[in-house]
Amino acid sequence: MKAWEIGERQGSADSLRLVERPEPEPAPGEALVRIRASALNYRDHMIINLIDSAPKTAGRIPLSDGAGEVVAVGEGVDSVRPGDRVMVSFFTGWLDGPLRPSHFGTDLGGGRDGTLAELALFPAASLVAVPDSLSDEEAACLPCAALTAWVSLVEFGRMKAGDTVLLLGTGGVSIFGLQFARMMGADAVVTSSSDEKLARARALGATHGINYVRDPAWGRTVAGKTGGADLIIETGGAATLAQSIEAAAFNARIALIGMLGGVGIESDPLALIWKNLHLKGILVGSRRSLEEMTKAIAQNGLRSVIDRRFPFAEAPAAYRHLAAGAHVGKVVISHDTAQA
C-alpha cells in the first residue's frame, strides 16, 4: 500500500515522502480501514515544521484525522464490520473519562502512525460510525478540530441559547465553534486578519466580525458590542489571551486550546480574579465525546466547512496551503480523487 511518511529532514512539507509499505493485517481487537479522506490541523503543520518543540517523528505516517471504510477486522471484534463507514479518534487510547498520562503516545500522526495512507490499523474500540448525512471528507474533519470546539463550548462551556461566543481567527476549530454556537442559538463573534474572511464568517452566521489587525484593542470592542463574551475558544495564546480576558463577561469560560501567536503567555492574573473567569486547558477529547458530538451534528444537519480538497498524490501542497493561512475552515486530502 502507498503511504506518506515524514522524512529524516523534517522541517518543511518537502520532507514528506511517498513510500510503499506492506499491507497491514489486523491483530485481535484491531480493524483495518481503507482511508477515503484525511484532514489537516495546525498541529500537523507544527509537527512537519518542528514548531514549538514538536517532536522529531521521522518515519511516522502523519495526520490525526481521517474517515474511511472498514475492510477487515481481527479476532474478537464485533463493534465494527467490513463495509462500515468509520472515523478515527485522535487519541486511540482515550475512550472515555478524563485525560490521563497513559493516553499520550496514542495520538495519531504523532505518537503513532496516522491517516495519510491507503490503509491503516486502529483499535476497533476507538472507531466511531460516520452518519449518512456526512461525506467521508466531511467526517474526516471532525476528530480533532470539531471535537476540540465541542468540548470547549458544550462540555466545558455549558453553552446555552443566548450566550455570546468569541472565536479567534477563521481556521478549523474556530469555524466549527461558530457552527456549534449557531446550532445552539448562541451569538458568535469572530475575529480575523482579513475582511474577506470576516464576510465569509458572517455568511456562516457570525453576528459580529472584527479585524484584529486594524483593531488591536479588539477585546474592548467585543465587550462594547456584546456586553462581554460568555465563552471564548482561545486559539491565539500569547498573542491574544490578554485581549480575550478584556473581551470576557463576568464569570465567562475561556477554553485555552492553542498557541497560534506563541507560547510565552504574559497575562495579569488579577484580571481573571476580578471577573471571576474560568480558564481551562483543553486537549481534544475522548472517543465518547466524539460519538456524542457526531450525533448532534447528524441530528442538526451540520456540514463541515471545507476550504479546499487536495488529491492524495499532492499531500505536500495541502500542507503548504494550510501554512499560507488563506483558508477558512478545513483543508482536506481526498484519497479517492487521484491515485499516487
Ligand X SMILES: NC(=O)c1ccc[n+]([C@@H]2O[C@H](COP(=O)([O-])OP(=O)(O)OC[C@H]3O[C@@H](n4cnc5c(N)ncnc54)[C@H](OP(=O)(O)O)[C@@H]3O)[C@@H](O)[C@H]2O)c1
Residues in touch with ligand X (CB under 6 A): 41-43, 144-145, 148, 168-173, 192-194, 197, 212, 235-236, 239-240, 257-261, 282-284, 322, 325
d(CA 77, CA 326): 42
Measured in degrees and rounded to the nearest 5, phi and psi for residue 2 equal -95, 145
Nearer to ligand X, 127 or 257 (CB): 257
Which residue number, 3 or 149, has a Cβ lying nearer to ligand X? 149
CB of 263 to ligand X, least distance (A): 10
Please, which residue, 326 or 340, has the CB nearer to ligand X?
326
Burial of 266 (C-beta count, 10 Å sphere; 0-12/13-18/19+): exposed
Minimum CB separation from ligand X for residue 61, in Å?
Answer: 19
* Residue 120, C-beta contacts closer than 8 angstroms, at least 6 positions apart: 24, 32, 33, 35, 61, 66, 68, 88, 113, 114
In the complex, least distance from residue 74 CB atom to ligand X, rounded to whole angstroms: 29
- Minimum Å gap between C-beta 170 and ligand X is 4
Minimum CB separation of residue 267 from ligand X in Å reads 15
Judge contact between 245 and 275, C-beta under 8 A.
yes
Pick the closer one to ligand X by CB: 84 or 334: 334
Q: Which residue minimizes CB distance to ligand X?
A: 171
C-alpha cell at 232: 471564548
Among residues 327, 322, 279, the alpha carbon closest in space to that of 307 is found at 327
Of all helices (H) and strands (E), which one includes residue 331? strand 330-334
Residue 227 burial class via C-beta count within 10 angstroms: exposed 0-12, middle 13-18, buried 19 and up: exposed
Nearer to ligand X, 123 or 219 (CB): 219
